[in-house]
């Protein structure tokens, strides 16, 4: 069962099953759902897992959580990993030097790690919606990777419609095309004049709009969310951390019980939370090292105990998926460590005063599991170049992890670095790094340039994007979003009256 991070308001149910938590992801007082109790992964589990496939291990872990989803549905959901580059190894663990291994999490359909969770999650959500005969509208705002992965998983799925807002000019060409070439009729993609913050605030305005909500209600459509605050995504993000350990065992780099480090390039902290739960469940992670870019709010929290957005503005970097100031999933760690009363207090302080501070003892508790450091774009570019020369191509988000590898790894243990995107999604930055120039390239030019310089292949799903017709060419002002969505859903404003 699942409970709420900020306690219960007396109206919502106090304990809910998994299906409820994923269909209705917002909990009392603006909190999130967390498992009431975490199951245990012991050495017997790990030993047995070392003879199993990724899919089997996923099903075993889901089973430990005893969630209220039928086994055949879970089976079909994890079968979606068959569509990854290598069905037997959806997340290959690649040794790159000495004690450093890359957990490549981007081998799914949209070439970013969001697929790891969204592929099976989309199947389960649509199944639940069909079961209760309810139509859902999923609203998403994306800075680039969540959008394509959300659209891909829900394309042609019954009972689900998706509207996805992206900042026009604020994504890479590849990311934009992954969205605007979507053919499926249940998807609507809208460019917004403005940046990601504008897209996100437009979405929040919409969620709060009474005319919007009334129109949906009157048509029998419910709203839900597929962002990483949905526990239905987090549960699948535990698995690949466990699998990395199994891969180290299989490659005979460790023996059962040995600890290892993991480094996570973090934004909304979903990936890091998956590692935290894996560690709490018993996976021998020595420490979770959090990598940030210069939007280093997580580094501040984990090194000083202070989460302070008062004097910050969001800075643009070459790792845009980590450009974030309010990192939602931190709340789940706070609740696990300090309980619901304290979490509510901290989150209210963040909302009202834009700052909270942990006590010295609380910080020490947090640092038992985490350490953190940030990396600037110059360091990331140099890292990309150095590794490319040595034969390994990593994207700008993955590159931020090398700073943590160099500065935070206190013990000589194997170190698993989570690689969150394929280089093909950020080709202009990659070519700038490799050529050490500052020219402006289109994605197409840069993909070709890197292909020729480094002789790496561009997957067909990326190469073909440039030849596909653009289906969604709307770019709208904030004020026109609601009407455009009404159009898409065949609602007239009359419905709202
Ligand atoms: C989403 C994303 C991240 C951040 O992951 P969180 O789980 O939100 O911390 C990092 N890198 C890439 C490429 C991403 O798409």
Give tens-digit pLDDT for 415-438: 999 999 999 999 999 999 999 999
- For residue 104, the cross-strand partners are 419
Q: Which atom of ligand 1 is nearest to the CA of 273?
A: 7
Q: What is the mean pLDDT of the chain?
A: 95
pLDDT for 233 beyond 70: yes
- Spell out the residues 6+ positions from residue 195 whose beta carbon is closer than 8 angstroms to its own: 167, 170
**Is the entire prediction scored with pTM above 0.85?**
yes
**∠ CA 23-146-351 to the nearest 5 degrees?**
70
CATH 1.20.1090.10 fits 84-112+232-466, yes or no: no
pLDDT for 496 beyond 50: no
Task: Please indicate whether residue 269, judged by its CB atom, sits closer than 6 Å to ligand 1.
Answer: yes
Q: What is the predicted pLDDT for the residue at 46?
A: 98
Encoded tokens for 215: 């129109």
Mean pLDDT, range 264-291, rounded to an integer: 97
Return phi, psi of residue 348, to 5°: -70, -35
pLDDT in tens, 177-191: 999 999 999 999 999
Report which of residues 213 and 57 the model is more confident about.
57
Write down how long the chain is: 497
Task: Please indicate whether residue 397, judged by its CB atom, sits closer than 6 Å to ligand 1.
Answer: yes
pLDDT for 256 beyond 80: yes
Poorest-pLDDT segment among 39-43, 301-305, 323-327: 323-327
Return phi, psi of residue 251, to 5°: -80, 5
Mean pLDDT, range 27-54, rounded to an integer: 96
Helix, strand, coil percent values for the chain (each to nearest 5): 50, 15, 35
Strand pairing report for 370-374 and 93-97: unpaired
Task: Please indicate whether residue 148, judged by its CB atom, sits closer than 6 Å to ligand 1.
Answer: no
In the chain, pLDDT over 90 holds for what percent of residues? Answer: 88
For ligand 1, atom 14, name the residue with the nearest CA.
321
Q: Where are the alpha helices (DSSP H) in 79-220?
A: 114-131, 146-154, 173-180, 196-208, 210-218
Task: Please indicate whether residue 421, judged by its CB atom, sits closer than 6 Å to ligand 1.
Answer: yes
Report which of residues 170 and 343 the model is more confident about.
343
Alpha-carbon dihedral sign for residues 274, 275, 279, 284: positive
- How far, CA to CA in Å, does 281 sit from each of 38, 65, 175, 276, 496? 6, 11, 35, 9, 48
Q: What is the predicted pLDDT for the residue at 484?
A: 93
Question: Ligand 1, from 268, 288, 292, 395: best to mutate by most atoms within 8 Å of Cβ?
Answer: 268
- How far, CA to CA in Å, does 277 sit from each of 189, 215, 283? 34, 39, 9
Residue 380 near residue 400 (C-beta atoms within 8 A): yes
Q: What is the predicted pLDDT for the residue at 270?
A: 96
Q: Write down the residue that tokens 């940046």 correspond to.
A: 195
Give the model's confidence band at 492: pLDDT under 50 very low, under 70 low, under 90 confident, else very high.
low
Q: Please choose, from the candidates 135, 185, 187, the residue with its C-alpha nearest in 3D space to the C-alpha of residue 165.
A: 187
| CA–CA separation, 270 and 225 (whole Å) | 15
């Amino acid at each position: 069962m699942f409970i709420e991070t900020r306690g219960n308001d007396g109206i919502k149910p106090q304990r809910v099953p998994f299906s409820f938590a994923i269909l209705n992801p917002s909990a009392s007082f603006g909190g999130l759902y967390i498992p009431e109790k975490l199951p245990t992964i012991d050495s017997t589990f790990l030993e047995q897992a070392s003879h199993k496939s990724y899919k089997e291990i996923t099903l075993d872990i889901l089973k430990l959580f005893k969630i209220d989803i039928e086994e055949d549905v879970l089976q079909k959901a994890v079968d979606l990993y068959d569509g990854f580059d290598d069905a037997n190894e959806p997340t290959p663990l690649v040794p790159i030097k000495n004690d450093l291994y890359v957990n490549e999490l981007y081998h799914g359909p949209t070439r970013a790690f969001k697929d790891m969770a969204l592929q099976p999650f989309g199947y389960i959500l649509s199944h639940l919606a069909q079961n209760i005969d309810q139509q859902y509208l999923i609203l998403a705002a994306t800075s680039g990777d969540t959008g394509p992965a959300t659209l891909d998983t829900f394309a042609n799925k019954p009972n689900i419609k998706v509207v996805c807002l992206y900042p026009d000019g604020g994504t890479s060409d590849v990311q934009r095309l992954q969205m605007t070439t979507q053919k499926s009729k249940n998807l609507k993609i809208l460019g917004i004049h403005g940046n990601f913050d504008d897209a996100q605030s437009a979405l929040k305005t919409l969620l709060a709009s009474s005319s919007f909500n009334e129109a949906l209600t009157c048509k029998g459509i419910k709203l839900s969310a597929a962002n990483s605050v949905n526990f239905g995504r987090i549960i699948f993000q535990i698995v690949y951390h466990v699998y990395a350990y199994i891969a180290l065992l299989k490659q005979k780099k460790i023996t059962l019980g040995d600890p290892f480090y993991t480094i996570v390039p973090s934004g909304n902290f979903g990936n890091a939370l998956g590692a935290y739960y894996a560690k709490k469940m018993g996976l021998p992670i020595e420490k979770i090292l959090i990598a940030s870019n210069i939007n280093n709010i997580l580094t501040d929290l984990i090194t000083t105990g202070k989460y302070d957005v008062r004097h910050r503005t969001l800075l643009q970097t070459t790792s845009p998926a980590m450009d974030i100031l309010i990192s939602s999933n931190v709340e789940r760690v706070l609740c696990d460590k300090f309980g619901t009363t304290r979490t509510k207090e901290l989150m209210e302080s963040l909302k009202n005063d834009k700052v909270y501070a942990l006590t010295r003892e609380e910080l020490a508790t947090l640092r038992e599991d985490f350490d953190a450091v940030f990396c600037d774009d110059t360091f990331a570019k140099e890292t990309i170049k150095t590794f490319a020369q040595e034969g390994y191509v990593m994207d700008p988000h993955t590159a931020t992890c090398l700073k943590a590898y160099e500065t935070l790894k206190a013990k000589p243990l194997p170190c698993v670095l989570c690689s969150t995107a394929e280089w093909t999604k950020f080709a202009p930055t990659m070519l700038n790094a490799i050529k050490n120039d500052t020219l402006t390239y289109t994605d197409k030019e840069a993909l070709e340039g890197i292909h020729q310089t480094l002789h790496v292949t561009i997957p067909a799903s990326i190469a073909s994007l440039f030849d596909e017709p653009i289906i969604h060419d709307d770019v709208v002002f904030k004020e026109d979003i609601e009407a455009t969505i009404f159009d898409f859903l065949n609602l007239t404003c009359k419905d709202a009256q």
